Structure 1
Amino acid sequence: MAKRGYHHGNLRQALVEAALGLIETKGPTGFTLSEAAKRAGVTPAAVYRHFEGREDLIAEAARQGFVMFADLMQHAYEKYQPSALAAFEATGRAYLAFARKHPGHYIAMFESGISVNRTPELAEASARARGILERAAAELSQHIPADRRPPASMFSAHVMAMSHGVVELFSRGDPGAQSPYAPEDLLESGIGIYLRGLGLIDPD
């Protein structure tokens, strides 16, 4: 009987989907290429026609994740224009929504240890996602005097770090049960404190 892998309609994508499922259950370093091949229904040898190793497979999962992530952030950002504040807050909510809906992609993107510069395609997708956040930050902070205005890249990095912390501690898996507040409320209040510190919103 012929091996299933030789007749697979889209083996490369099937392997990515298999890897995403394994990443969710075992983590990015907790599975082998053989396991991914078995889940995709092909022989381990067939994997190497598309990926040199597990890290290349995870990098492709991360690239696809960043494409989806950027699309979601762009949609959230544009939906609330022309209000710079509403658009900025929407990107934060979109971050949490993505992490919750696509945990395998999220882990591959942010927790696998794979450099975003591993491939030009991965770097491009990551840069596009960061660029949306930086643009939102730049528009929101344009009225701050130049000598007190943080660089947009720093501004957006702070918010990404805050968002990632909420995801890790209170939004995914068992740790989420430890918070007496909804992750969205935690992030909104944290961003509010940050923006008040910059003078971008009025004190309560």
Structure 2
Amino acid sequence: MKKGYHHGNLRQALVDAALELIAAQGPNGFTLSEAAKAADVTPAAVYRHFAGREDLIAEVARQGFDIFAALMEFAYANGQPSALAAFEATGRAYLAFARKYPGHYMAMFESGLNLSAHPQVGDVALRAKAVQDRAAAGLAAQLPEGRRPPAAMFSAHVWAMSHGVVELFMRGQNRSPFPPEDLLETGIGIYLRGLGLLSPDR
């Protein structure tokens, strides 16, 4: 009996197989036939659950964004214990997710997935982004209204910084004598001081 049918969830077996292949070979480094072989099913069986390889990757990404959003929400903790701590926690959650879920991370951010073609993926991705935006808005609210930077703008900047730390210093070839978490924390600190959101002595 095929392994995928044995545990009663062939669709998830294919997702799990794709996750291993993506982590080892990248999101564009495997075929649907390889995913079928890794799940121990025939290639024809794949098409009963996925229209093609991109559809399979989209499901991997959807599950990843779902995990990611939950992790971000947990890190944010409704702005506790402070707006600054909550904002910094969401940045650290980004690194923690990339480290623990490399296959999901690559499917989400490195596969070139067209989110408009997979609205269910886009919806859950927006849920994760909304957490970071809420954290940024809470921090911006500490400044007088006329001096507040657009929360969505600096949320996007910190998201980009987090992504860069992952790509260059967590999984890339460039090495740093500093842990990725320290690089991100100091980078966020410099950035927030420049916006006036963090005092110079912090």
TM-score normalised by the chain length of structure 2: 0.94
Q: Shift of the alpha carbon at 1:174?
A: 4.2
Residue in 2 that maps onto 1:195:
192
- Counterpart-to-counterpart distance in 1, 2:161 and 2:68: 17
AA aligned opposite 1:186: L
Where 2:116 maps in the other structure, the secondary structure is: coil
Contact 1:80-1:90 at 8 Å conserved across structures: no
Residue in 1 that maps onto 2:44:
45
Q: Identity across aligned pairs (percent)?
A: 71
1:101-130 Cα shifts (integer Å, max 9, x gaps)? 000000000111002333221111101000
1:12-56 Cα shifts (integer Å, max 9, x gaps)? 001001001000111111100000000001000000001111111
AA aligned opposite 2:48: R
- Counterpart-to-counterpart distance in 2, 1:65 and 1:5: 21
- Counterpart-to-counterpart distance in 1, 2:189 and 2:7: 50
Where 1:117 maps in the other structure, the secondary structure is: helix
- Counterpart-to-counterpart distance in 2, 1:50 and 1:192: 46
Moved more, 94-103 or 3-12: 3-12
Alignment coverage as a number of residue pairs: 201
AA aligned opposite 1:159: V
Report the aligned-residue RMSD. 1.7
Residue in 2 that maps onto 1:184:
181
Alignment of 1:132-151 (within 5 A): 132-151=131-150
- Counterpart-to-counterpart distance in 2, 1:63 and 1:142: 32
TM-score normalised by the chain length of structure 1: 0.93
Residue in 2 that maps onto 1:20:
19
Structure 2 residue runs of 5 or longer lacking an equivalent are none
- Counterpart-to-counterpart distance in 2, 1:143 and 1:3: 58
